[in-house]
Structure 1
Amino acid sequence: MNFFLRIVCLGLILLWPLRQEADAQTCQWQSPEPEPLNFELTLPTTPAPDFLDGKSIGHITFTRYNVFNPEDPKESNFLYRWLNDVHVISQEQVIRDEILFRETDQYNGQLFAESERILRNNKYLYDARVRPLRLCGDKVDIEVVTKDAWSITPAFSISHKGGETTTKTSITESNFLGSGKLISISQAKDDQRTEYTVRYKDPNIAGTRRKTAIEISDNSDGYRQYFSLDLPFYSLASQRSYGFSFNNEQRISPLYYQSKKAIELDHKNRIYNIFYGRSKGYIEDTTKRWRYGFTYRQDTLKPDAVIPRAFGLDSPNHLALTSQAQHQRTLLYPWLAFDYIENSFTTIENFHSIKRTEDINLGRSLTGRIGYSHHSVANDISRVIFNIHSQNAIRKQKHLLTFDTQVDGYWQSKHNKFENLAATFNGAYYHFYDSDWVFFSQIKYNMLYNPHQENQLFLGGDTGLRGYPLRHLSGEQTGVLTFEQRYYSDAYLFRLIRIGAAFYVDIGKSWGDSHLLEQYDKLLTAMPPEAQVTAIEKQDKRWLANVGIGLRFTPSRVDANHVIHVDLAFPLANRQDIKSSQFLISVKQSF
C-alpha cells in the first residue's frame, strides 16, 4: 500500500509542471497587477484589452479590505488593529448584490465601470475597483475589490455660521453587521429648533434592489414621520421602477428680516406619492426613462408670533399678530416625468473631496416633470405643477466646466400667473494646475417669484457670502460670484484626516426687497408707512464682498462625502451692524 502511494505521489510531481504549462497555454492574457489588488486599490496603467469584450465571465473573486492596512507600519499600531477587529467588514453577499454582473454573463466594461460607481456611492465603502484578472480560453476571471469605511460613528459636532451656532450629537451605524443597513439616532439644535431623530435605511432589501427608508423625529416645534419603499432605476440599463412614500410633518417655519426673526408660522405638511417608471434601457450611450405618478400634498400654515424689533421699531403697537385665519393649500394631481442621461462618466481626484476617487458625468442629464391639480378634485385653485433640472460638464485637459440649472413652481390657470416660481443656476470652472493646486470660480444665481408665504430667499454666511451674518439679506433674487484658490495637500493627519486649504473672494447682491415687504404685509394687521420706510432703508442695495481663508478636513476612514470647513472671512463693508470678521465652522458635501 505504501509502495502504491509513493508511485502516485511521484507521478503527480512529474506531471505538475506539464499541468502548469498547459494552464499557461490556455490563458491568453493576464493582468500585470498581481492578485489581489493592493490596499490602495492602485490599478495598472495599461487598460484592459478590447478583445475581452463579449467573452464569458468565469470566476468572480471578492477582495474586501478592512478600514486600516495591517501591512502598513503606520497603520499597524494597537489602536488601528483594535478598530479593525471591532469593525465588521462588508459581507461578500452584500457586495455581490450591488454589482451588475454575474458568472456566465458576457464581459462588459461599461457594466464594470457602473458597478464601481454603485459601490462607491455607498456610505459604508470608501472606494472600489472592478478589474479583469485573466483570460483563459473563453472565460474572463474578474476581481471586485472594496475598501470599507468606519461605519460606527458616535459624533458631536458644532457648526458656527453667520453668528449662529448649531450643535449635533449622534450615533450612526451605516453598515450594521456588514449588511449595508443604516441605523442612526441623533439630537440636533440650532436657532430654529431642537430635533431628536431615529433613522433606518436598507439600500438593497434581501438583494432585490428594492430600498426602504424610515425616519421619525420629535422636535421642539413639531414632529416628522417619513417612510418610503421603492425599486429605483438602479443602473443605466434598468427598465422598470416603482415606489411609494409619505411624509407627515409639523414644524415652525420662521420668516426673517435682516437676520432677525420677524414671524413664526405653524406649518403642517402632508405628502403622499406613488409612481411607476419604464425605460428601454441603455441604448447608444444614453438612457431615457418615463415615470408616471400621483401625488397628494397639503400645507396648512398659521401665523404664530411677530417680533417688532426686526424692523427697528421699539413699540409692540407698531406690529401685531394678524387676525387672518389659517391658510391651506391642497394639491391632488397625476404627473408625468422624463429623464435623459448621457453616459460619459469618468473618475477624478481633488474635486469635491481630497485625494479620493470621485465620479463625474461629462455628459448631459435632463429631468422634466409636469402635473395638473384641478380645483374640483383638490378643492383648491387649479394649478400646473412643473420642474425642470439640467446638468452638464465639459472637460478639456486641465480645465473643467460644470453647469446646473433648475426651475420649478406652479402656474395658476385661473389667474394666469406663476406661483412660488424658483430658479437656480450654478456655473463653476476648475483649473487643475497639478495634483495639489486647483483654481475654482463659480457664479450662482437664485430667483424666487411670488413665493409661498413660508418660503424666503437669503444671502449671507450660509449661502455663499461668507463674511456676512446668516440670512443677512433677503429678496426675490440673489447672485454670488466666488474666486477661490484651493490647495489639496498631501498631509495625512494620524492617517485619518486629509487636509486642504482655500483662499477666496466672495461678491454678492440681493434684489427685489419690496416684494418681500408685500408678503409681510399680508401677514400683519398693521404696518405703518414709517415701518416700511425703515425696513426698506435697512436693506443694503450695494454689491457686497468679502475675502477669507479656510481649512478643509476630510475624514478618510469614515463617510468620505463629508468635508469640514473652518473659515475666517472679512467683509469689505463699513457698517456698524456687521462684525469685522466672521468665523464659520460647518460640515458640507464638497470642498
Structure 2
Amino acid sequence: MQVLIGISRQRAYSIPTLPTTLCRLLALLACLQATASAAPARRKKPPVPAQGLVISSIVIETHNVFDTDDPRDDKLVYRAANRFHRTTRDQVISRELLFAEGDRYDQALVEESARNLRALPFIRDAAAAATVNKKGTVDVVMRTYDSWTLEVLASFKRAGGSTNLKAGLSEHNVLGSGKAGSASYNRDGKAGTQSLGFKDPQFFNRKRLQVSLTALTAPGAQDFELGVDRPFTSLSPSAFGGKLSHQKGDFSTAANPTPADMLTRKVSEGGINYGIALATSTQRTRRVRMGLMARRADFRPIPGQTAGPIPSREQATFLQLGADWEELDFITVRRIQKFTRTEDYNLGLAVFPELAWAPPSSALGTTETQILPKVVVRKGFVRSNQLILLSSAYSSRYVNGGNGHRLASFEASYFVRGLKYQTLAFHTGLDLGRRLDSTQPLALGEVNGLRGYGLDAFKGDRRFLFNIEDRIFIYDEMLRLLDVGAVVFYDSGYVWPSSRSVKLSELRNSVGLGLRLAPSRSAGNDPVRVDLAYALNDNRSRSRWSLSILAGQAFK
C-alpha cells in the first residue's frame, strides 16, 4: 500500500481544434440556458413587507464562537474558549453593510451584505432580520457568528539523521478587529523557511479597502508581495487595486532538469487596475476594467554550480482590458461542499473576457510582444433538490506572432440532495491544451481528483476527469467541534499528449471509501479527507491500495 500525505480493444478518437472546442462549449452553455428558460420557473420569493420602507434602526448582534445560552455549549472548556476569543467589534460588521439608517430597505442589498459577511474568514454565519414597526419604518437586526480564528502550527519529525520542524501562529481576527496576522518557521532537513503575513479587509477603517502583505525567506529563495484592493459591490460605481511583488528562486526550463540546468531567477512585478460600473444594479453587473502591469525577469547562475546557456532578461509592460457581464441570481444551500455552513451560489450567466497586450515599445522596455486573451463563462441551474454548475474557459499566449500555451477547459458538476443527510455528486472536467509551456503541464493525481495513482502521477497536454461521490453527513457538531462524514467514490481519468489520439484503454479508474472531518466552528468548514482508494488499473506501485490524507473536497 502507498500512503500519501499531501476494455481490451483499443479505439482511437481524434480531438477537435481548440477554437472549435471552445465554440462547442459556449454553444452547450447557451443550449442549457435555453432549456432552463423553457422549463418551469423556480418558485418566486414571497414579497417582502419591508421593501421600500425607510430603515429607522440597525442593530448588530455579534455572537461568540460558542453560544453559552445553549446548554450544549455551556461547558467549562467552551466558556474558557470564549473568554480567550475576542468577539468581532460592531464597527467591523457595520462597515460591511451596504445599507444605512435613513435608506430605503432593499432586500437584495441586505442579502448581499450577509453574503459578504459570510465570506470573511472570521465569520462562520451571518443572517439579517427585518421588522416593520408601528411607525411604518423598518428595524434591521444583523446577526453574525464568530469562527475560531487562532491556529497553532506545530510538528516535529526526526528520521535518518534529518530533522523536520514546523512551528507557527496564525490569527484571522486580531482582538476582534478583522485584521489577520501569521508567522511560521519550517525547517526541512538543513534548510529553514520563515514566513510572515498580514491582511486587513478595512485598512484605516475604510469600507472594503483591503491591504495584504506576505513575506517568505529561505536559503536561495525570497518572496515578497504587497497588495491593495477595493473590490466592487453591486452598487459600487468604481473599484481599484494595485500589487507589487518580488520573487527569487531556482528555475529551469527543462522538463526533467539536471543540476546543470538550474538557474537563479529574479522576477519583479508591479501593477495597478481600475474598474468602472457602466450601470449599478442588484440584478446584474456590467463593468469595464483596465490596468497596467510591468514585469521583469533576470537569470543568473547558481553560485558554486556550472551552468549552461543563460537566458537573456525578459521584460514586458502589459496594457490590460477586461469586462464583467453577470446576471445575479444567488441561492443559499447546505451540504454541497461543506457540512453545516450556508453556501452561496450564483446561478446567473456570467461572462468575463480579458485581454493583456505588451506592445513593442523600447520606451516601455518590452523585449518581446505578447498578447494574452482569456475568457471565462459560468452558469448554474437548480431544480427542486438538484444543482448544476457549469463553467468553461479559454486562454492563449501570442509571443512575437507565435501562438502558444492554448488551453480550453470545460467543467460540470451535478449535485442531488435525495436524503436529508446525503448528497450524490457527479463531476466531469476536460482540458485541451496545445503547445503548453514545458514548466506548466496539465497534471492528474490525488490532489486533482484521481485517487489511487499518486499525487501527480500523470502529466501531459490534455486531461479528462470523471468522478462520482456519495457524500454522507454522519454527525454534526461532534463534541461541538467537529463535523463527521463519509464518502463512497469512483474516479476515472487520464492525461495524454496533444500529438496523438485518445485511447479508451488508457483511462485510469479507481474506487474507494473516505472519511471527512471538518471543524464545525471554523469559517471555512472545509473538511480534511482521508481516502482509501483501490486502483483498478496498473498504478506503477507495489500495491494497488492507496491511502491519502489531504485538505478539501476531491472536486467542487
TM-score (norm 1): 0.78
Whether the aligned pair in 1 keeps the contact of 2:234 and 2:282 (CA below 8 Å) is no
> Does structure 2 retain, via aligned residues, the 8 Å contact 1:437–1:487?
yes
1:73 equivalent in alignment to 2:71: yes
Distance 2:343 2:318 in 1: 38
RMSD: 3.1
Deviates more, 1:403-412 or 1:550-559: 403-412
Q: How big is the shift at 1:484?
A: 1.1
Tell me, in whole angstroms, the C-alpha distance in 2 between the residues paired with 1:87 and 1:445. 45
Match of 2:520 among 541, 553, 556: 556
| Letter aligned with residue 217 of structure 2 | D
Q: What aligned pairs does 1:156-167 form with structure 2 within 5 A after superposition?
A: 156=154
Secondary structure in 2 matching 1:471: coil
Q: Distance in 2 between matches of 1:321 and 1:434?
A: 63
Residue 394 of structure 1 aligns with which residue? 381
> Helix, strand or coil for the counterpart of 1:74?
coil
Residues in 2 aligned to 1:139 and 1:51: alpha-carbon distance in whole angstroms: 11
Inter-partner Cα distance in structure 2 for 1:378 and 1:257: 29
Counterpart pick for 2:280 among 272, 279, 282: 282
**2:439 aligns with one of 448, 454, 463:** 454
The match for 1:437 is 422
CA–CA distance in 1 between the matches of 2:194 and 2:523? 21
| Residue 411 (structure 2) aligns with | 426
1:275, CA displacement in angstroms? 1.0
User: In the alignment, does 2:396 pair up with 1:409?
Assistant: yes
1:10-409 to 2 correspondences below 5 Å: 49-156=47-154, 169-187=167-185, 195-205=193-203, 206-233=205-232, 235-253=233-251, 264=262, 266-283=264-281, 285-300=283-298, 323-326=308-311, 328-376=313-361, 377-409=364-396
Whole-Å Cα distance in 2 between the matches of residues 181 and 240 of structure 1?
Answer: 24
Deviation (angstroms), 1:558: 2.1
SS in 2 for 1:51: coil
CA contact (8 A) 2:263 2:307 kept: no
- Does the CA-based 8 Å contact 2:278-2:288 persist in structure 1? no
| Residue ranges of structure 2 left out of the alignment (5+ in a row) | 1-43, 157-163
Does 581-590 or 57-66 show the bigger shift?
581-590
Separation in 1 of the partners of 2:411 and 2:255? 25
Contact conserved, 1:302 with 1:327, CA < 8 A, in 2? no
Aligned partner of 1:309 in structure 2 is none
The separation in 1 between residues aligned to 2:372 and 2:507, in whole angstroms, is 34
| Equivalent residue letter for 1:397 | S
- Does the CA contact (< 8 Å) of 2:453 and 2:539 recur in 1? no
Q: Quick check: 205-214 or 124-133, which moved more?
A: 205-214
Evaluate the alpha carbon distance shift between residue 187 and residue 481 of structure 1 in structure 2; reply closer, same or farther with a 3 A threshold. farther
**Could you tell me which amino acid in structure 1 is paired with residue 388 of structure 2?**
L
Deviations 1:63-115 (A, max 9, x none): 11111111222211111101111110000011111111111110100011000
Asked if structure 2 preserves the Cα contact closer than 8 Å seen for 1:237 and 1:287, the reply is no
2:477 corresponding residue in structure 1: 492
Distance 1:577 1:444 in 2: 26
Matches within 5 A, 1:532-543: 542-543=506-507
* 3-state DSSP of counterpart to 2:439: coil
Distance 1:323 1:443, change over 3 A: same
**Amino acid corresponding to residue 228 of structure 1 in structure 2:** G
Question: Matched residue of 2:93: which SS?
Answer: helix
Larger relative helix fraction:
1
Q: Aligned in 2, Cα 1:565/1:231: closer, same or farther, shift over 3 Å?
A: same
Equivalent position SS for 1:111 = helix
The structural deviation recorded for 1:48 is 7.6
- Out of 144-153 and 128-137, give the one that drifted further: 128-137
The one-letter amino acid of 1:406's match is A
Deviations 1:237-283 (A, max 9, x none): 11111121111112335789799999655443222111111103433
Q: Distance in 1 between matches of 2:121 and 2:226?
A: 20
Q: d(CA) in 1 for partners of 2:258 and 2:510?
A: 21
* Local SS of the residue matching 2:335: coil
Cα gap change, 1:409 to 1:265, in 2 (>3 Å): farther
* CA apart distance, 1:367: 1.3
Cα distance in 2 for partners of 1:261, 1:544 equals: 33
The alpha carbon displacement at 1:574 in A equals 3.3
Runs of 4+ off more than 4 Å: 46-49, 166-169, 188-191, 253-265, 300-305
Q: Is the 8 A contact 2:109 2:282 kept in 1?
A: no
Match of 2:490 in 1: 505
Cα-to-partner distance string for 1:549-569 (whole Å, 9 max, x where unaligned): 111111111232432111111
Higher Cα radius of gyration: 1
Contact in 2 for aligned 1:254/1:261 (Cα 8 Å): no
Determine helix, strand or coil for the equivalent of 1:352. coil
Question: Is 1:336–1:370's contact at 8 Å kept on the other side of the alignment?
Answer: yes
* TM-score between the two structures when normalised by the length of structure 2: 0.83
Contact 2:340–2:525 under 8 Å retained in 1: no
Superposed displacement of residue 508, structure 1 = 0.9
Cα distance between partner residues in 2 of 1:64 and 1:353: 23
In structure 2, the partner of 1:22 is: none
- SS of the counterpart of 1:433? strand
Q: Which runs of 5+ in 1 are unaligned?
A: 1-45, 159-165, 306-319, 516-538
Q: Residue 393 of structure 2 aligns to which amino acid in structure 1? A: Q
Q: 1:460 to 1:282 in 2, by over 3 A?
A: same
* Change in CA separation of 1:111 and 1:575 when aligned onto 2, cut-off 3 Å: closer
Moved more, 453-462 or 551-560: 453-462
Indicate if the aligned counterparts of 2:235 and 2:282 stay in contact, CA closer than 8 A. Answer: no
| Cα displacement (A) at 1:140 | 0.5
Residue by residue over 1:208-256, the C-alpha shift from the partner in whole angstroms, topping out at 9 and shown as x without a partner, is 32110000111344111100112211x1111111121111112335789
Secondary structure in structure 1 of the residue aligned to 2:82: helix
Q: 1:584 aligns with which of 548, 551, 556?
A: 548
